[in-house]
Chain A
Amino acid sequence: MKIKKFASIFALLTGLLVLAACQPQTVEVIKEVPVEVEKIVEVEKEVVKEVEVIKEVEVEKIVEVEVEAMAEEPDAVPYNLTPGKPYDGTTVNFLICCPTAGQFAAWQKSVDEFTELTGISVEFANEPWGSFQERIVTESIAGTGAFDAVVWPDSWGPSFSNTLQPLEPLIERDGIDYMDDYPPAFLEAGTFNDHIYGIPVRTHAFVTFYRQDVFDDLGLEAPTTWTEVLEAGRTIQAETDMAGLSNYYGVGSAQNLFVYALMLWGNGGDIFDDNYRPTFNSQAGVDAANLYASLAEIGPEAQFNNNEADARGSVQQGESAMIVGWWHFAGGFSNPEVSVEGVVGNMQHAALPAVEGKDPTGFALSIPVGISSFSRNQDAAWEWIKFISHPARDKAVVMDKSDPATNTVVASHTSVITDPEVNEVNGGIHAAAAPGLENSRLMPLIPEWAEVSSIMETAINEIVLGADAQSTLDEAAADVEAVMERSGYYKDQ
């Protein structure tokens, strides 16, 4: 009898639990931007006036002017921060990846300054790159508000933009006047459906890195076309025990599409047409794939399974003489803790190679920062974003070479990228990348990109390993078309 009673209670409990779990999911999305108290708004206006003055000043003077403004106006604070510490005592949870990235380490170092200015603490949730996307997905579904601010690689953005807060009202409210101070591709990277969800903060341009000492010894010039890259690579392999070019052909995170896309665009092709029909299997796409595959001749043995980090490691270990990649590689190449003797001090950079007879094309990647819709500290998170995205902070980070852990060349603002002082301190890498940034392209910003890129990276890997380019790309294009059709892209066609 007692067992029956217990069984009844047990069944009831289980049933209740299941019922509770089966309740329709309510997703609390905080869309309202809290209104500031009048006093703050008035002070804010004064700060905006102050910023208008700053606009006229040269970028390298911004920090000094901000400090002067503070001296003249006791309520004013630099970096467009809200005066009066209205969020004092708040903690902002900041979800980022890749804690070893110099720029992120520099941000972490600057938290004390930020806390002093605002009273807001910042907790970094460092997620390894490999599980970063899963973390964002699971936190987004759970909608718990576990993080307030988050960074993401641009191509992931459209997939979870429905969990991000549009930033235009905040930009307008706080008179953020440096939104025009970004290369177009960087700004576009955080914009979906005509809304700005992310401020560009960790932005990358593609450049060519090469071993100056090896090139000098062999009498080689920095390559300006892919044909020259191939020829230089052949010479290096013939004359030294190094591989010519370290490429990343492996699958897993679509990184093998970076160089392929560059060649595709440089060859006049594109991934999609205006109606999102795949076009990468056009003649331009096939030629680009064959050109890409031909570079395997001058690569290290392990390249077919290498991802970007592996390929970079090959250069850092002195095994390869060239690599085409993001400018943030420069930090590692100049760090004796991760690069061998011979590499440190000998890595030079040049503009991206062009397809023979064609104009050079740039390729950019941006990791914007945004605010979670589920955050309960959206205003405090916005303060943090204003702080790290301010041109003066951007410049301060790339100018600081005092610590190898925070040494980075990653800058986002046009004014910083073209700043002579910044270029002098960073060996002119920004000036080398700047022309490419003007016409830089991004990977398509569509929610289906993860699936599309997975299909394409598999095809490219197969072509590099010897499959026929035309038929392989045709099959991939058919698969991509099916993905797009399922998502309703061709309904009206």
Chain B
Amino acid sequence: MDRGKYAKYVMLGPAVVVTLAASLYPMYFALVTSFRDWRLSRSLVPQDFVGFDNYVRAFQDERFLNSFIVTIKYIVISVSMSIVLGLLMALLLQRKNWLNTITKTLMILPFAVSPALRGFSWKFMLNPQYGAFDKIVDTVFPFMADINWLADPLWALIMLAITEVWGWSPLVALMFIGGLGTINPEITEAASLDGANEWQVFWRITLPLLSPIILLVTLLRIIFSLKIFDQIVTMTGGGPGDATQALNYFVYLNGFKFFDFGYASALGYLLLILMLIAAFFYVRSLLGGNES
């Protein structure tokens, strides 16, 4: 019995060591680097410790502040759209029939598409000369025909969010369908018998009962939205101007384009702090849900 116990730790050991080495060590190294001056163009190895200079610089750097604001705007647009759309899709697809079953199976496909490919595809679709999306919008909403989607700061950000929503909404919908399935139909039936209309049932009963899942999905989406990168590279390059230069992309620019690893590490840690805050609430709500 004891031997069996020991064996499982031995078997797990190498994987745990590799995992820790591959995650904790880079984090430790990046933390140390964030307090050092390391511009690769000057030296191949990290240079002097500079205390909190890199962090102070971030808060004095207008480009960082811009990327922070862009990220917040992006999160608000992307998360709210995917929650609303996901919920609508879930309400439409919650009834069990063969058509819904097939639809739900197919819905996972957009999520399976790689973000970079999503970006390239949408860039083509949004092209004002030959893009399918652009042509459809021009036909259905002629008053929007003059919009150059990726050349307008607001529309470029919205379109970036839409690529993410396109991939995530079906998954969010599936999560909501799962949540809707846990609501006891007797509650909604009782409300209907008491004279509540469908809107009142949804607003007063379904939505409050779904709120723990909405919270979880929101936090999960915030964490993933903070990581937006691939579509920026493939669709906008951070433009027009710097209107879609989100935080993650800004970190990349400083590290791999400007070779300033000290500053990029500090920016990476600021991004990590934002993610940890979201992750803290996510885990807390997850565990809280289990306890209840």
Interface residues of A (CB under 8 A from B): 2-3, 6, 10, 13-14, 17-18, 21, 24-25, 27, 130, 133-134, 137, 140-141, 143, 158-160, 162-163, 250-253, 300-302, 304-305, 307, 319, 447-448, 450-451, 454-455, 458, 461-462, 465, 467, 479, 487
Q: Are B242 and A458 in contact (CB under 8 A)?
A: yes
Q: Are A17 and B17 in contact (CB under 8 A)?
A: yes
- A133→B28 CA distance, assembly (Å): 25
Q: Are B13 and A6 in contact (CB under 8 A)?
A: yes
> B residues within 8 A CB of A450?
257-259
Q: Are A2 and B148 in contact (CB under 8 A)?
A: no
- A305→B234 CA distance, assembly (Å): 11
Interface string of B228-266 (1 = CB under 8 A from A): 000001001111111000000000010011111000000
> B residues within 8 A CB of A163?
44
Give which listed residue, B13, B63, B236, B256, contacts A305 with CB less than 8 A. B236
Give which listed residue, A25, A302, A479, contacts B127 with CB less than 8 A. A302
Q: Are A134 and B256 in contact (CB under 8 A)?
A: yes
- A135→B257 CA distance, assembly (Å): 11
* Nearest B residue (CB) for A10: B13
> B residues within 8 A CB of A18?
21, 24-25, 28
Q: Are B241 and A458 in contact (CB under 8 A)?
A: yes
Q: Are B40 and A160 in contact (CB under 8 A)?
A: yes
Q: Are B241 and A462 in contact (CB under 8 A)?
A: yes
Q: Are A133 and B237 in contact (CB under 8 A)?
A: no
Q: Are A479 and B62 in contact (CB under 8 A)?
A: yes
Interface string of B257-286 (1 = CB under 8 A from A): 111100000000000000000000000000
> B residues within 8 A CB of A479?
62-63
Closest 9 CB pairs of A and B: A252-B237, A447-B41, A304-B151, A251-B239, A301-B128, A159-B41, A462-B241, A305-B150, A451-B258
**CB pairs A–B below 8 angstroms (30 shown):** A6-B10, A13-B17, A18-B21, A18-B24, A21-B21, A25-B45, A27-B45, A137-B259, A141-B40, A143-B44, A159-B259, A163-B44, A251-B239, A252-B233, A252-B236, A252-B237, A301-B128, A301-B129, A302-B128, A304-B240, A305-B123, A305-B148, A305-B240, A447-B39, A448-B258, A450-B258, A455-B63, A461-B239, A461-B241, A479-B63
Secondary structure at the A interface, as helix, strand, loop or mixed, is: helix
> A residues within 8 A CB of B28?
18
Min CB gap A143→B, angstroms:
7
> B residues within 8 A CB of A141?
40, 44
- A435→B62 CA distance, assembly (Å): 43
* Nearest A residue (CB) for B25: A21
Known: A305-B239, A454-B258. 8 other contacts (CB 8 A): A3-B6, A6-B6, A6-B9, A17-B17, A250-B239, A251-B240, A301-B128, A450-B258
* Nearest B residue (CB) for A26: B45
Number of residues from B at the complex interface, CB < 8 A:
45
- A25→B151 CA distance, assembly (Å): 45
Question: With A2-B6, A301-B129, A461-B240 in contact, do A162 and B44 touch (Cβ < 8 Å)?
Answer: yes
Min CB gap B119→A, angstroms:
12
Q: Are A252 and B238 in contact (CB under 8 A)?
A: yes
Min CB gap B19→A, angstroms:
11
Best-surrounded residue of B39, B42, B44 (most CB of chain A within 10 A): B44
Min CB gap B54→A, angstroms:
11
Q: Are B21 and A250 in contact (CB under 8 A)?
A: no
B143 sits at the interface (CB 8 A): no
B5 sits at the interface (CB 8 A): yes
> B residues within 8 A CB of A454?
253, 257-258
Q: Are A130 and B239 in contact (CB under 8 A)?
A: no
Interface string of B159-171 (1 = CB under 8 A from A): 0000000000000
Min CB gap B163→A, angstroms:
14
Question: With A251-B239, A305-B240 in contact, do A319 and B43 touch (Cβ < 8 Å)?
Answer: no
> B residues within 8 A CB of A458?
238-239, 241-242
B20 sits at the interface (CB 8 A): yes
Min CB gap A312→B, angstroms:
15
Q: Are B240 and A159 in contact (CB under 8 A)?
A: no
- A307→B240 CA distance, assembly (Å): 12
- A263→B257 CA distance, assembly (Å): 26
Q: Are B25 and A2 in contact (CB under 8 A)?
A: no
Interface string of B137-155 (1 = CB under 8 A from A): 0000000000010110000
- A379→B238 CA distance, assembly (Å): 42
Q: Are B241 and A465 in contact (CB under 8 A)?
A: yes
Question: With A250-B237, A304-B240, A465-B240 in contact, do A159 and B40 touch (Cβ < 8 Å)?
Answer: yes
- A462→B128 CA distance, assembly (Å): 19
* Nearest A residue (CB) for B14: A13
- A396→B136 CA distance, assembly (Å): 50
> B residues within 8 A CB of A253?
237
Min CB gap A100→B, angstroms:
17
Question: With A458-B242, A461-B241 in contact, do A140 and B44 touch (Cβ < 8 Å)?
Answer: yes
> A residues within 8 A CB of B24?
18
> A residues within 8 A CB of B2?
2
* Nearest A residue (CB) for B241: A462
Min CB gap A484→B, angstroms:
13
Q: Give chain B interface residues in 15-35, CB to chain A under 8 Å.
A: 16-17, 20-21, 24-25, 28-29
Q: Are B259 and A447 in contact (CB under 8 A)?
A: yes
Give which listed residue, A21, A130, A305, A462, contacts B233 with CB less than 8 A. A130
